[in-house]
Every structure is written in C-alpha cells, then in structure tokens.
Amino acid sequence: MDYTEVLEYWFGDDEKPKTGDVLKSMWFGNDKDLDRQIRDQFLPYVSMAGEGKLSLWLTSPQGTLAVIILLDQFSRRIYRGLSAAFRYDEFALAVCKRGMAEGQDQQLPIIQRVFFYMPLQHSEHMEDQEEALFLFSQLCNFASQEDAGLYENIFRRARNNFDVIKRFGRFPSRNAFLGRLSTEEELQWLSGKGAGMVP
C-alpha cells in the first residue's frame, strides 16, 4: 500500500468521487460500520505509522497528510471509546508541525489542509489551539462561496475546542477514557454542554 490509498479513501478520487454529504458523514459522523471498515482496511498501517515505519511517506506533502490521517483520524475510529484512541496524538502533532515547518501544508488543497491541521485542534496545549484557530480562520477566507458553510462549521468546531482548553486546560470528555479524575466544574459541563463531545 502507498499513501494514495489513504487519501483516496478519505477524500475520494476522480474515478470514484464521493458526494459532499458522504464525505461529511465520514469525517464528522459516528458510524460503527465505518469504524469497522477502517479497522479492517487500515489497522496495520496505523500501527506502522505509530511505529515510525512510514517515514518515507513524510518526504511529500501528500504522504505526510496520509500519515497524519492514519495517526489522528483512523486511530480515533479504530479505537473509539478506548484510551488508545489518543495514543498517537503527540506523534501526529509532531508530524503536523514538521510538515508545516517545511511548508508542506501550503502545497495541498484547502480541504486536505483541514486534516493536516487537525492534530493542533486535538491538542490539549493552548498554544496549539491558538494556532489551530488562526489556521482554520484562514481556510474560511480561502473557501469558495459554495463551500463556505462547511469551513464555517469546521471553524466553529475549532472554536469550541479552543474554548474548552481555555476553560479547563484539557478536554474533560477524555477523562474517563484516560483514567483522569474530573473536577466538579468538569462534571457539570460533561452533564450538559460537553455531553458526547470527545475530540
């Protein structure tokens, strides 16, 4: 397998284009069948990426993006509901930052840049959240009028994550999965607005 299989699965290709609704459901939905499909098709490659065995992919923007998707997106679906869902977050963040330092993100279409930057949005460090918010606001400015709603929704998600980290310094919705004790304030938030939100 090479990185194009990851990208074609996640974004579609010219021969088998996926509709916008299908893609949005894939990217932001909670579908057990999709989780199973990704596990069956990509689990070995998620493990290889996590062990640093796909380093050759990192020489191109597309290859770097594929590694980020394996570590940051597919891992969340394969291990949904388990602490392992966040196992590769720091590695994905490092790959993202290295790619940005090399200008790889600037060579990608803006929809692919959304997922290049996702490790920043998933970080529990405030400086990463600030950078994510800035980058996603930029993507809104670059979006076509037709796609404006999608990018505004993505920016709102980034803003929500930013607000949570600013308030709590972490994502309380991860506490149960990671064996962390929640504060009273976090428990109140989790019982209301934060219910079901696990970035």
Rounded-to-integer distance, Cα 80 and Cα 77, Å: 5
Predicted pLDDT of residue 194: 62
Give pLDDT tens digits for 30-77: 888 999 999 999 999 999 999 999 999 999 999 999 999 999 999 999
Domain with CATH 1.25.40.10 in the chain: 123-199
Is the CATH number 1.25.40.10 carried by domain 123-199?
Answer: yes
pLDDT of residue 145: 87
* Percent of the chain surpassing pLDDT 70: 93
**pLDDT on residue 27:** 87
Rounded to the nearest 5 degrees, what angle is found at the Cα of 115, between the Cα atoms of 110 and 166? 110
* Sole residue written with tokens 């989780």: 35
Backbone angles phi, psi at 12, to 5 degrees: 85, 175
